Amino acid sequence: MPDIIWVEARRRLRGELLDKDYDTWIAPLRAARWSADTLALEAPSGFARDWLRQHFLPALERAVTEASGAPATVLLLVNRELSIPARAGALPGHRAAYATNGAPSRYTFDNFVVGESNRVAYGAARAVVAQPGARFNPLFLCGGCGLGKTHLLSAVATGLAHARPLGTVVCLTAENFVNEMIAALAARRMDRFRRKFRGIQTLIVDDIQFLAEKRRSQEEFAHTFNALHESARQIVLASDRAPHDLPGIEEALRDRFASGLLAYVNPPDPALRGALVERKASTLGVGLAPEVASYLAEEWCANVRELEGALTRVEAYATLSGRTIDLALVREALGPSPVARRGPSLQRIVGEVCQHYRLSRDELSGPRRTARLAVPRQLAMYLCRQHTDVPLARIGAELGGRDHSTVVHALTAIERRLEKDATLREDVSMLRARLHA
């Protein structure tokens, strides 16, 4: 049990934390016990335990709570027998040049599975390694989460850093760029900062959308960009959207981003999904029957990160339960798929609540706070929270522009009321039944 919860919690943390934090602090932990909603985790040293306590305890508890489905506590212990794996940033020689962004070297061109939906991005990334600065400059990769952008950037960094001197290939996230700039400003070392970034051969920046609304950083980035671009140095960028759809970024900078090759990384098409399942399963050393492989390809492959998480859980579940992997085990290990879980929308929930209490939408999201309106409104928030994974702020926005704390208050108010109010409990079960009809 502790292992199953921990595998799932780790998967969530991996998606949430920087790779280097995950690799350094989370990966070495071992799940020791699970009892009464408390997960005991062992860290390799007292120092690691204290660091985790100070920096990651809320994230750990949130991940374990989500993984176990109920509020959970994390207890941190020390077990000196656990060894500390090598840090991503500590790779030898010139490779440290790109490893500084924490991008693990497991991302290569060879283990990138190519299909229709990522062929252009893949080809362009390879072309950049073959002839940096020559053809596609900048190369701008864009696409949704978990589709392989960071993987391709890291493969370019590895490919280029391989034959070049230390420090000439720089690969980092836009967030790191901003942090370095702020540190340089504070230490009055902007000259050094500029020299560093303008003296490199290849600049690779991930998650460029992070520059949104940061005027000073955008300005500095634009200078760096122009200096490098003018002397035909290669620039590679990745973002969750195309340059012209990036909110909060100066138009001139967006134009610069779009001035080279724009390559989309799209969600995998059916053929690529099949190939990904096969490749990822064989990497994990897991054999899959054809019906299991096609179930995973159809229902668990909206993006590649989702598929990797699903396979890891299936493998852990099979190992721990000593069973072979068949469709029944997969369904048990994974629960309802994201496709099946794609529950009702906010609008639909609000609509059902209005209908049930015979209120108009305007009344429900309006400013009046009489009991006739306040309870249904709070209930709508409560149902939105339970039946979607939309953030609280958006739920508040949907119900008349109310803020995050109003939603939090509504959730506790409804929970309290449900304990003593049988009519409300009935309303909830009727509404739930309708939402799932």
User: Where on the chain is the footprint of Mg ion (CB under 5 A)?
Assistant: 150
Q: Give me the least distance between CB of 262 and ligand ADP, in Å please.
A: 15
In terms of CB distance, is 282 or 429 closer to ligand ADP?
A: 282
| Residue 20 interacting entry, from ligand ADP, Mg ion, none, C-beta within 5 to 8 Å by type | none
Mask: binding to ligand ADP, 116-135, rule CB under 6 A, as x and -? --x-----------------
Q: Does 150 bind ligand ADP (CB under 6 A)?
A: yes
Torsion angles phi and psi, residue 71, rounded to 5: -55, 125
| Residue 304 interacting entry, from ligand ADP, Mg ion, none, C-beta within 5 to 8 Å by type | ligand ADP
Pick from 138, 146, 243, 274 the residue near ligand ADP by CB under 6 A.
146
How would you label 367-381 residue by residue, b for 16+ Cβ within 10 Å and e otherwise? eeeeeebebbbbbbb
Q: In whole angstroms, give the CA distance from residue 98 to residue 94.
A: 8
What's the gap between Cα 240 and its chain centre? 11
Nearest 5 degrees, angle CA 320-CA 53-CA 15?
A: 55
Q: Does 197 bind ligand ADP (CB under 6 A)?
A: no
Give the CB-nearest residue to ligand ADP.
148
CA dist 13 → 20, 60, 175, 231, 375 (Å): 12, 7, 18, 40, 36
Q: Give me the least distance between CB of 297 and ligand ADP, in Å please.
A: 13
| Residue 297 interacting entry, from Mg ion, ligand ADP, none, C-beta within 5 to 8 Å by type | none
Residues 363-382 that bind ligand ADP (CB under 6 A): none
Q: In whole angstroms, give the CA distance from residue 40 to residue 38.
A: 6
Q: In whole angstroms, give the CA distance from residue 145 to residue 266.
A: 10
Query: N- to C-terminal Cα distance for the chain?
Result: 33
Q: In whole angstroms, give the CA distance from residue 333 to residue 327.
A: 10
Residues 88-117 that bind ligand ADP (CB under 6 A): 107, 111-113
Q: Give SS3 for 104.
A: coil
| Residue 256 interacting entry, from Mg ion, ligand ADP, none, C-beta within 5 to 8 Å by type | none
- Residue identified by tokens 């779009």 is 258
Residues 281-340 that bind ligand ADP (CB under 6 A): 304-305, 308
In terms of CB distance, is 21 or 250 closer to ligand ADP?
A: 21
In terms of CB distance, is 304 or 364 closer to ligand ADP?
A: 304
In terms of CB distance, is 150 or 224 closer to Mg ion?
A: 150
User: Which residues of this protein are in contact with ligand ADP, per CB under 6 A?
Assistant: 107, 111-113, 118, 145-151, 304-305, 308
